[in-house]
Amino acid sequence: MRLSLIAMACSALLVAAPAVHAEPPQDPSTQAAVVSASKHLNQLFMDYQEEMLQLNPIVATIRGDMRFNDQFGDWDSEENDKAQQALNTKYLNKIRAIDPKTLSGQDRVSYDIFLYDRETAEQNRKLGVAEIQGLMPLTQFGGWPMYLPQMSDGMLGQPFNTVEDYDNWIKRVSGFAPYVDRVIAKMRKGAEQGVVLPTILAEKLLPQVQAFVGLTPQKSPFWGPIKKLPDSFSKPDQARIIFEYEQQIKQGVIPAFERLATFIETEYMPKTRKSHGIDGIPKGKLVYQQAIKQFTTTDLSAEEIHQMGLKEADRLFEEMKKVKAKTGFKGDMKAFFEYLKTDPKFYYTKAEDLLQGYEDLRAVVDPKLDKIFNVEPKAPYIIKAVEPFREKSMAPAQYFRGSPDGKRPGVFYANTYDLKARPKWFMEALSLHEASPGHHFQVSLNQEAGNLPPFRRYGGYGAYVEGWGLYAEVLGLEMGMYTDPYQYFGMLYAQIWRANRLVVDTGLHAKGWTREQAIEFMQSNSPISDADVVAEVERYMAMPGQALGYMIGRMTLQEIRAKAEAKLGGKFDLREFHRQVLIDGAMPLTILEAKINRWVESQQG
């Protein structure tokens, strides 16, 4: 249940980003001072990047830095926790020592965002939020026991091309068993303090861990690299690698999963909590308010967000009624929802057909992108099914970033589990959200922006990132998508789903709702399948606040665009507006709004 601590701080610092129009001429001494300040600032960013990657070697690999491919890192150790805190404090002091008045252009934006991030982490440390989050290192939605098998498949950047690559992976995987023991220690400490998962989430986590118990090396997902062992390797190297992989999986990986499964089932499970919201743990209300700030980059209260969700859901529900009338369906909305959930014509019967359906959509969408974009990512994306070991608890789809150089494609994961829960009428909106022009566009352009310091190329702010994904769904209307009324309904369904999240997430974590109340609300207000509604509600339980960023972000993006259109009138260029939103990477929404305001001013001149 740990939150990635990247986005909370006072909104006052967000208004001072740079202008995009030309600045007044400077005398030589002033210019020299600006150049010196810029070099100093960017060296600070590079130094931070280097120290951060040394502490987080797997992050380095995922980002395309292959220097640490043989290291796992001492994640979740007391020493690592202290080192991470010391790193943040060190660079918080360094960035505060720089006078922002000496900076301009992108340097000032970078300064503001970096300060925002460092102050956010410091605030969480002082409030004790970071420590609390660290006591729940695993959920059914995340943690290295779930991610490492994906790395062994080569999908998260780990290369398997040379003998050295294979040796590096053996060394890295050797760190997995000690990591699992540290996780157990953290969870045991959390149980002693009452900082534990809800019982229902622990019950979903346990089978994911148990899925690895008793496996032979050859049946394990970790055997994937051996299946692709290059024929170009010498016979002695092949034999040695196979032997070492088999021993590491048999003696290290599988026993670690066995220890974790036994701990969860026999020691942790009896101490899990019956409450469903984060407010059921010590300091839970504080943790949730910080999560709201992180994922929305706003100071909205839980009650304000709850009411926003109810209002937007009502608006979308009325639009759904119009679609029902257009289809000629006879019956009320409840009957229409049931029809959409149960009629066989809306569902595939084979997983490969669902995947091909998304491939067909790609062929329709790609030629339309030029209409509303003047910039596109270099990296392609591929479409894959969610792996069997995690499909039962995953959402309908998920996007994983590719490599910055475009050599490793992004991955649009489609969940093929329970095909009766994967309606065809939802596919256009889902594809636009996860792939192009949604997450694949935004994430790829972000990390391909070579002019940005590394921390900005890989930054993620929930309201920006997920807000863009939801905004991308709506863009389908301007791209000429949703010509089928059922597909248009699918877009409305996706939108009301996210509006309902505002209601349900705040209900669970701030208003004392139970899991059952949340499920009932979702089922009553949209045609979401039973399988999806359960997975969604349990996701909100596992990641408090994360679901809020979608709709808050979309609403803010649309508001920013509407203001720009009103001010520019006929001068407004949608393609350039989208470039301005995307080209400088993810950022808190207030910084984005200030940036777009200055772009508007430059266009007015």
- Cα–Cα dist 316/206, whole Å: 38
Confidence of residue 525 (pLDDT cuts 50, 70, 90): confident
Confidence of residue 33 (pLDDT cuts 50, 70, 90): low
| Res. 452: pLDDT tops 80 | yes
Q: Residue 202: inside a domain, yes or no?
A: yes
Q: Residue 496: inside a domain, yes or no?
A: yes
Can you read off the two tokens belonging to residue 269? 């499970």
Q: Per residue in 191-222, is it b (16+ CB within 10 Å) or e — as a string?
A: beeebbbbbbbbbbbbebbbbbeebebeebbb
Residue span of the structural domain in which 109 resides? 1-128
Q: What is the pTM of this model?
A: 0.81
Whether 358 and 482 map to the same domain: the answer is yes
3-state secondary structure (DSSP) of residue 399:
strand
Whether 301 and 395 map to the same domain: the answer is yes
Confidence of residue 570 (pLDDT cuts 50, 70, 90): very high
Q: Residue 585: inside a domain, yes or no?
A: no
Mean pLDDT of 140-163: 84
**Distance of CA 578 to CAs 70, 439, 546, 561, Å?**
40, 14, 24, 9
What percent of the chain has a predicted confidence (pLDDT) above 70? 94
Q: Residue 516: inside a domain, yes or no?
A: yes
Mean pLDDT of 564-589: 95
Mean pLDDT of 313-334: 95
Confidence of residue 3 (pLDDT cuts 50, 70, 90): very low
Task: Provide the terminal-to-terminal Cα distance of the chain, rounded to the nearest Å.
Answer: 49
Mean pLDDT of 376-388: 92
Confidence of residue 24 (pLDDT cuts 50, 70, 90): very low
- Cα–Cα dist 272/559, whole Å: 42
| Res. 580: pLDDT tops 60 | yes
Residue 573's pLDDT is 97
Confidence of residue 321 (pLDDT cuts 50, 70, 90): very high
Count of alpha carbons within 13 angstroms of residue 113, beta-carbon side: 29
Confidence of residue 248 (pLDDT cuts 50, 70, 90): very high
Residue 340's pLDDT is 94
pLDDT tens digits, 42-97: 999 999 999 999 999 999 998 889 999 999 999 899 999 999 999 999 999 999 99
Q: Residue 567: inside a domain, yes or no?
A: no
User: Residue 198 gets which letter from DSSP?
Assistant: B
Can you read off the two tokens belonging to residue 31? 């210019």
Whether 424 and 522 map to the same domain: the answer is yes
Residue 28's pLDDT is 55
**How many other CB atoms sit within 10 Å of the CB of residue 479?**
19
Whether 97 and 177 map to the same domain: the answer is no
Note whether 523 and 533 are within 8 A (CB).
yes
Whether 268 and 211 map to the same domain: the answer is yes
| Residues facing 397 on adjacent strands | 414
pLDDT tens digits, 538-555: 999 999 999 999 999 999
Q: Residue 233: inside a domain, yes or no?
A: yes
What is the number of helices (H) and of strands (E) in the chain? 26, 3
Confidence of residue 10 (pLDDT cuts 50, 70, 90): very low
| Residues facing 399 on adjacent strands | 412
What sections of 63-155 are H helices per DSSP?
78-96, 105-127, 129-134, 144-152
Max mean pLDDT among 150-154, 262-266, 447-451 falls in 262-266
Residue 454's pLDDT is 85
- Identity at 343, one-letter amino acid code: D
Confidence of residue 4 (pLDDT cuts 50, 70, 90): very low
Mean pLDDT of 534-541: 92
Q: Residue 489: inside a domain, yes or no?
A: yes
Note whether 180 and 258 are within 8 A (CB).
no
Residue 238's pLDDT is 98
Pairwise pLDDT comparison (10 vs 192), residue with the higher score: 192
Q: Phi and psi at residue 332, in whole multiples of 5°?
A: -80, 180
Number of independent structural domains in the chain:
3
Whether 354 and 432 map to the same domain: the answer is yes
Whether 91 and 165 map to the same domain: the answer is no
| Res. 443: pLDDT tops 50 | yes
The CA dihedral of 11, 16, 17, 22, to the nearest 10 degrees, is 160
Mean pLDDT of the chain: 90
pLDDT tens digits, 97-130: 999 999 988 899 899 999 999 998 999 999 999 8
Domain boundary among 260, 282, 304: 282
Residue 25's pLDDT is 47
pLDDT tens digits, 292-313: 998 999 889 999 999 999 999 9
Whether 241 and 343 map to the same domain: the answer is no
Whether 354 and 478 map to the same domain: the answer is yes
Confidence of residue 17 (pLDDT cuts 50, 70, 90): very low
Whether 294 and 272 map to the same domain: the answer is no
Confidence of residue 359 (pLDDT cuts 50, 70, 90): very high
Mean pLDDT of 406-411: 88
CA 212 to chain centroid: 25
Q: Residue 85: inside a domain, yes or no?
A: yes
Residue 30's pLDDT is 59
Whether 271 and 305 map to the same domain: the answer is no
**Distance of CA 595 to CAs 118, 312, 489, 580, 601, Å?**
21, 27, 34, 8, 10
Confidence of residue 147 (pLDDT cuts 50, 70, 90): confident
Whether 449 and 471 map to the same domain: the answer is yes
Pairwise pLDDT comparison (19 vs 530), residue with the higher score: 530
